Amino acid sequence: MAGAPLLLGVEDVRGGYGEVDILNGVSLFLRKGEIVTVAGTNGAGKSTLAKAVLGLLPRVSGRILFEGADLVGLSTEDRVGRGVGYVPQVANVFAALSVVENLQVVVGVKDQRRRIAELFEAFPLLAERRRARAGSLSGGERQQLAFARALMTSPRLIILDEPTAALSPAKVAEAFELIARLPSLNVSVLVVEQRARQCLAVSQRGYILDGGKVAIEGEAAMLLADERAAELYLGRTEKRHS
Ligand SMILES: Nc1ncnc2c1ncn2[C@@H]1O[C@H](COP(=O)(O)OP(=O)(O)OP(=O)(O)O)[C@@H](O)[C@H]1O
């Protein structure tokens, strides 16, 4: 992946919801084919950063380059049209609609039947449950549906906002396996996640935010081995006794 073209470049992004800046100059990048973790403590600005990239943050300065073009100032719809997808933390499927209907209602899809067939191939569980109401799915199945919905428009980048937050502990490992599989569907992944260790384990690189700024960044393996990252942000693993 090193050497792959740059897909996303966030450059000195500042901004917030009102007058107070929540993001205080965040810079990060993501190459084509990568999974990149954004971790950090509660309130560090992880979800706010995701919103800034999507055009959902009221006030933003700096540059957000996607495939070389600046997204700042564009509507969310335009960003999605350019190839940015999003899976929000909650309310990411329509409970009253069936699995297949949840995919059919996504707007802006070129060849809907073909895309649904491709996604059913990638998510066989969803194909099996195509007529089931989304509200009757398990947490893990519902998440697959939320991912499939976001993939309907064939985005080149998908942003996942705390994808494991609503899952039972037993389903968390499955969710990370699913995330690890996403690049095989020709999509790169920016994932905002509290479970930083598990998320870094399926990522190539990561950024740890603190107070709306990048505190530590680097290769995932390097961050997982970093004493300061462990001490301040990742939680210590059990010490092995010899
Ligand atoms: N819609 C909003 N309006 C005003 N302030 C907000 C809004 N959403 C978040 N904030 C504030 O922005 C700051 C950063 O929140 P954000 O949700 O980005 O943090 P986070 O790193 O994603 O945290 P968590 O892991 O707890 O979700 C917090 O102080 C929060 O109170």
Which pLDDT score, from 0 to 100, does residue 79 have?
A: 95
Q: Tell me the domains of the chain and their CATH numbers.
A: 6-86+156-233 (3.40.50.300)
Instruction: Compute, in degrees rounded to 10, the torsion defined by CA atoms 164, 166, 167, 173.
Output: 10
ipTM above 0.90, yes or no: yes
* Pocket probe mutation, ligand 1, options 21, 47, 57, 209, max atoms within 8 Å of Cβ: 47
Residue 238 has pLDDT above 70, yes or no: no
Residue 237 has pLDDT above 80, yes or no: no
pLDDT band at 233 (very low <50, low <70, confident <90, very high): confident
> For residues 15 and 44, is the Cβ–Cβ distance under 8 A?
no
Mean pLDDT of the chain: 91
Which pLDDT score, from 0 to 100, does residue 171 have?
A: 86
* Pocket probe mutation, ligand 1, options 21, 48, 161, 195, max atoms within 8 Å of Cβ: 48
CA dist 56 to 67, 73, 103, 233, Å?
Answer: 19, 11, 23, 27
Instruction: Tell how strand 35-40 and strand 188-192 pair up.
Output: parallel
Q: Which of 236, 200, 209 is nearest to 43 (CA)?
A: 209
Q: Which of 35, 73, 75, 79 is nearest to 192 (CA)?
A: 35
Residue 242 has pLDDT above 60, yes or no: no
- Compute the C-alpha angle 59/48/7, nearest 5°: 90
Pocket around ligand 1: residues whose beta carbon is below 6 Å from it? Answer: 17, 22, 40, 42-48, 194
For ligand 1, atom 6, the nearest C-alpha belongs to: 17
For ligand 1, atom 30, the nearest C-alpha belongs to: 43
Which atom of ligand 1 is closest in space to residue 161's alpha carbon? 22
For ligand 1, atom 29, the nearest C-alpha belongs to: 43
- DSSP E strands in 88-181: the ranges are 157-161
Which pLDDT score, from 0 to 100, does residue 42 have?
A: 86
Q: What is the mean pLDDT of residues 47-57?
A: 95
Q: What is the mean pLDDT of residues 89-97?
A: 86
Instruction: Tell how strand 35-40 and strand 205-210 pair up.
Output: parallel
